[in-house]
Chain A
């Protein structure tokens, strides 16, 4: 199975900060990489698909990049509603796998 490794596992940031989360795949997955946001008690929400495409309704401050094995999710200016846990997920294989998550907390 393809392993997905996110870093960091958690971070503290302030409103207005630029935040970057990285995700590494154990083998090349082209651009079949997706990012989700999850808030406590809620289902995950798709933010970015195919590494860099913004899902409908998602603010443009979210940006995804990368290909092959290394990917990045960037939040250009952190807003209060962005404090959540973020997961990467590969859909290259029919057997999906998720990263372990990155919790973004308020500094």
Chain B
């Protein structure tokens, strides 16, 4: 049974760095083809893909956000971590992590999401 769960602060102040953790079970990121992505959704708005890390440690970032994002994995802990620097109120959103298998496939399992509010 594949599950993913996001964790991190619910409230972040402007200019701070956000660190989110995706803890998963039911698959291993050391298995060939496995990938984990981060996707966010501002309240009432559309989904926005942020970043992806693959089983071989290849990493991909949104063009518009790549200077602010870092994705990493801890295979032994079954975790993927996303950091986003210089947070702004427009970054207020629900942040999801999701699994995909192999290149060019889609996200078949998602976490429940975690709402992050950026405010002073």
**Chain A residues within 8 Å of B, Cβ to Cβ:** 1, 32, 34, 36, 38, 42-46, 49-50, 55, 87, 89, 91-92, 94-101
Closest chain A residue, CB of each to CB of B37? A96
A58 to B60, CA, bound (A): 30
Q: What range describes how many residues of B lie at the interface?
A: 20 to 34
Residues of A within 8 A of B61 (CB): 95
Could you say which of A34, A36, A44, A98 has the most chain B C-beta atoms within 10 Å of its C-beta? A44
Partner of B104, one of A38, A92, A97, A101: A92
**B62 proximal to A (CB < 8 A):** yes
A-B contact pairs, 26 of them (CB 8 A): A32-B104, A42-B112, A43-B96, A43-B111, A43-B112, A44-B47, A44-B96, A45-B110, A46-B106, A49-B106, A49-B108, A50-B105, A89-B47, A91-B104, A91-B105, A91-B106, A92-B104, A94-B52, A95-B61, A96-B37, A96-B49, A98-B47, A98-B48, A99-B46, A100-B46, A101-B46
